[in-house]
Amino acid sequence: MTSSPEQSGPPMLVLGKIVSVHGIRGAVKVLSHTDPLDNVLDYPQWSLRRGAEQRTVSVTSARVQGRVLIVQLKGVDDRNQAEDMVNFEICVAQDALPDLDEGEFYWYQLEGLRVETLDGQLLGRIDHLLETGSNDVMVVKPCEGSVDDRERLLPYLPDLYVKHIDLQAGLMQVDWDVEF
C-alpha cells in the first residue's frame, strides 16, 4: 500500500491497480497491494484514480486467479467498458483501514521514517518495504545528514533489529552496525 495525496477529503491509500481486462463480459484483472491479496475486497466501494480522472465504483463479484483478482464492477458489462478501466489505481480512505494492535504498523506509516542506530547515527529514510517470504525488508536510502551515501536493506524484525518506532517524531531506532 502506498500513500496518495488527495485534493479534498481524507488522505487516500492506493491498494491496487486495474491492470487489464478479462474475457468479454466486462471483468477486469486487479493487481492488489494488500496481504493477502483479496483483502482489497474488504472495501466493496473503490475510489479509482488515473491521473486527474477519478471515479467511484462498486465491486459486484470477485475471485482470486493466481496472483491477481478477477473483478466484476457494477455497470461494467462488456470488454470495451472494461478496457476503459485499465490503469486506474484503486484507492480507499486511510481512515477506512482497520485499527491495528499496539506495536503493529501499516507499511505506508513506516515509509519516510528516519532510521537511526541506537547510538544516534542516521542511516537514512525508509523509501519502501519489500516482501521476501521469510521477513519484510526495509529499503533505507541516504538523506541529508546520513552517515554515508549507501542504500541499505534492513530486515523488518521488531524483536531483533527494530527497537523503537515513533510515528509522531518520524523516527525508527534500529540495532544495526553502520558498517554492515
The span from the CA of 53 to the CA of 108, in Å, is 23
Angle, alpha carbons 116-95-30 (nearest 5°):
90
Rounded to two decimals, what is the model's pTM?
0.75
For 2-96, the fitting CATH number among 3.40.50.300, 1.10.1750.10, 2.40.30.60, 1.10.540.10 is 2.40.30.60
Q: Which amino acid is at 6?
A: E
Q: Report whether 179 contacts 121 (CB < 8 A).
A: no
Reduced to 3 states (helix: H, G, I; strand: E, B; else coil), residue 5 is coil
Delimit the CATH 2.30.30.240 region(s) of the chain: 107-174
Q: What is the DSSP letter of 146?
A: -
Q: What is the DSSP letter of 167?
A: T
Q: What integer pLDDT is reported at residue 138 of this predicted model? A: 97
Helices (H) and strands (E) in the chain, counts: 2, 13
Residue by residue, pLDDT tens for the chain (180 residues) are: 444 444 566 789 999 999 999 999 999 999 999 889 999 999 988 999 999 999 999 999 999 999 999 999 999 999 999 999 999 999 998 888 888 898 899 999 999 999 999 999 999 999 999 988 889 999 999 999 999 999 999 999 998 999 999 999 999 999 999 988
Delimit the CATH 2.40.30.60 region(s) of the chain: 2-96
CA dihedral 164, 155, 106, 18 (to 10 degrees): 160
Q: Report whether 32 contacts 39 (CB < 8 A).
A: yes
107-174: what CATH class? mainly beta
